[in-house]
Amino acid sequence: MIGLLRGKLIEKRPNQVLLDVGGVGYQVNVPLSTFASLGPLHTDTTLLIHTHVREEQLALFGFITAREKQCFELLISASGVGPALALRILSGMSIEQLVPAIRKGDLAQLVQIPGVGKKTAERIVVELRDKLAVVDVPETGKPATRSQLEADVASALVNLGYDARSVEKAIDKARGESSGDFETLLRSSLQILGASAMQKSARAGGDA
């Protein structure tokens, strides 16, 4: 199994990167926290890897820190939580928010993450509350500069397929809720975009 990759960063998106390791390109799925910590393209990058093998499918999941990888592996050990959902959970909430939420059984906070319903949140709390005692909550990273921060968030959201105009409105609305770091502003913007999409869907259903 692959446990670590070190190579040049050829491509990067909010949910996936491409690493050139000795002339071989590895596609690695990553959470937003890892994406936010990556350097510029063509720089040397090291990722801790979880190799997921299912039937004939092999997928690589990469993390900048051992804490991220440890939380990911704990999440996929919970019933009904696969690698894709675990990655969404780590992208929807920082570790310093996620670990206390699970320890306290804060279901209201957990179900705000896209893809996490009440039953899934309950299973995560019941099965992982004690296991997460071994996870140290990391310190909050340094904030990026404001203008560059918003540009990076906008680029990430557009790369995820959101309309540029909707992205601009979401960032403007989320600006007051963020603490000045990439992850917080991106998550807040994603929540606003998701809520907006749900409202449009509900209105469309009501008109039908």
Where residue 44 sits, what CATH number does that domain have? 2.40.50.140
- Segment 33-39 shows an average pLDDT of 88
Is pLDDT at 53 greater than 50 in this prediction? Answer: yes
At 155, list the tokens: 């680029």
Distance CA 49, CA 59 (A): 10
The token duo for 136 is 């140290």
Which pLDDT does position 207 carry in this prediction?
55
Domain assignment present for 139 = no
pLDDT value at position 76?
94
Asked whether residue 140 is domain-assigned, the answer is no
Range of lowest pLDDT (86-90, 118-122, 143-147, 149-153): 143-147
pLDDT digits (tens, 9 = 90+) for 138-194: 444 444 444 567 777 777 776 677 776 787 788 888 876 655 677 788 888 888 888
13-30 average pLDDT score: 94
Residue 121 within any structural domain of the chain? yes
Is 36 in contact with 182 (CB distance < 8 Å)? yes
- 175/208: higher pLDDT: 175
Residues 115 and 81 in one domain: yes
- Do 39 and 81 belong together in one domain? no
Closest of 94, 95, 86 to residue 115, by C-alpha? 86
The count of residues in the chain is 208
Number of structural domains in the chain: 3
Domain stop point among 44, 63, 82: 63
Residue 22 placed within a domain: yes
Average pLDDT over the chain, rounded to an integer: 83
Question: What value does the mean pLDDT take over residues 61-85?
Answer: 91
Please report, in angstroms and rounded to a whole number, the separation of the first and last CA atoms in the chain: 51
Q: Would you say residue 24 lies in a domain?
A: yes
* pLDDT band per the 50, 70, 90 thresholds, residue 16: very high
Say how far apart CA 166 and CA 14 lie, in whole Å. 18
Q: Which residue has the tokens 């299973």?
A: 123
* Residue 46 to residue 38: CA distance in whole angstroms: 9
What is the rounded average pLDDT of the residues 97-104?
Answer: 90
| Residue 191, domain member (yes or no) | yes
**Domain limit, last residue, from 13, 48, 63:** 63
How confident is the model over 53-69, as a mean pLDDT? 87
Could you please report the per-residue DSSP string of 59-96? EEEEESSHHHHHHHHHHTTSTT--HHHHHHHHHHS-HH
25 forms bridges with which residues in the sheet? Answer: 20
- Do 96 and 124 share a domain, yes or no? yes
Q: What is the pLDDT of residue 145?
A: 44
Structural domain contains residue 35: yes
Question: 138 or 19: which carries more pLDDT confidence?
Answer: 19
Q: Answer with the residue of higher pLDDT: 153 or 106.
A: 106
Q: Residue 177 sits in which domain range?
A: 146-207
**Taking phi first (over 0 means left), then psi (-120 to 50 degrees means alpha), and beta for anything else, what does residue 29 get?**
beta
- What is the C-alpha separation between 74 and 130, in angstroms, rounded? 11
Confidence band for 44, pLDDT divided at 50, 70 and 90 = very high
Q: What is the CATH number of the domain that holds 102?
A: 1.10.150.20
Q: Which of 134, 159, 187 is the last residue of a domain?
A: 134
pLDDT at 61: 96
State whether 98 and 124 are in the same domain.
Answer: yes
The answer on 124 and 70 residing in a single domain is: yes
